[in-house]
Amino acid sequence: MALIEGETGTQRSLGYVLDVDQPDGCARCWLDLTEGHMNRHHVMHGGIGGLLLDSAMGATGSLTVDAMGRAPFLTVSLTTQFHAGAGAGQRVTATGRVTGGGRSLLFIAGELVAEDGTLIATATGVFKRVPQDKLPQEPGQ
């Protein structure tokens, strides 16, 4: 199982895990919800749900060109629909699935599901591969 953990500041702050080693080529992003992920109504904040979907969908795009799921893809657009809430103590998992596209743009759908099978949110997005010559350089390179 190839897991990406603690790679970015956002990932370290929120505690989500990215799984880029599924036989179906779909990346998964999961988070064990705590009180720190809740909104004032005591359900998962919608921005966190959107972030999980965006992460899983972008990594799914990356898997189309990089078996390690680390080739950068930028989110061009992301539309999210919320269907239900999720509370502290639950694990939620976002999954991305390529639905179309070409060499530089991919259309990707996503689902965010609670561990009991409840559909929390769905999303559709357009993702663009970052050309190699446009990648940011590490300091000192």
What is the per-residue pLDDT across 5-63, written as a single tens digit (0 to 9) for each?
999 999 999 999 999 999 999 999 999 999 999 999 999 999 999 999 999 999 999 99
Q: Is residue 139 part of a domain?
A: no
* Cα 132 to Cα 100: distance, rounded to the nearest angstrom: 22
Q: Count structural domains, the chain.
A: 1
Q: Which helix (H) or strand (E) holds 95?
A: strand 91-101
Q: Which helix (H) or strand (E) holds 42?
A: none
- Domain, as residue range, for 50: 3-134
pTM for the whole structure: 0.91
Q: Is residue 141 part of a domain?
A: no
